[in-house]
């Protein structure tokens, strides 16, 4: 299984709509590890690692987000896989 790590930045109405909590639930269901947090500028950023297919499914979900979100853009930057996370968490 090929492992993958990405940095994701999501723009739009993505704060105050349970984006982080839903992202955590989706990531855990897919077996993806990493973290998610709100940024000061209204965006949500994430770093995640996992099996390539699971990471790709998570990226697909980011384009719609949870109910109430209005995603206007998703940036995905590949990174070197490190295997540093034990689970997927919300950072504050």
Which residues are designated catalytic?
20, 38
- Enumerate helices (H) and strands (E) in the chain, giving the number of each: 2, 5
Full strand arrangement of the beta sheet holding 3-13: 70-79, 3-13, 44-51, 33-38, 88-90
Cβ distance 54 to 32 under 8 Å? yes
């Amino acid at each position: 299984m090929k492992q993958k790590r990405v940095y994701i930045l999501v723009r739009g109405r993505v704060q105050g709509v349970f984006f982080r909590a839903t992202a955590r639930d989706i990531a855990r269901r897919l077996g993806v590890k990493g973290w998610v947090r709100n940024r000061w500028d209204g965006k949500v950023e994430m770093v995640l690692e996992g099996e390539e297919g699971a990471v790709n499914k998570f990226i697909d979900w980011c384009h719609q987000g949870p109910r109430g979100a209005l995603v206007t853009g998703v940036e995905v930057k590949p990174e070197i896989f490190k295997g540093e996370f034990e689970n997927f968490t919300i950072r504050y």
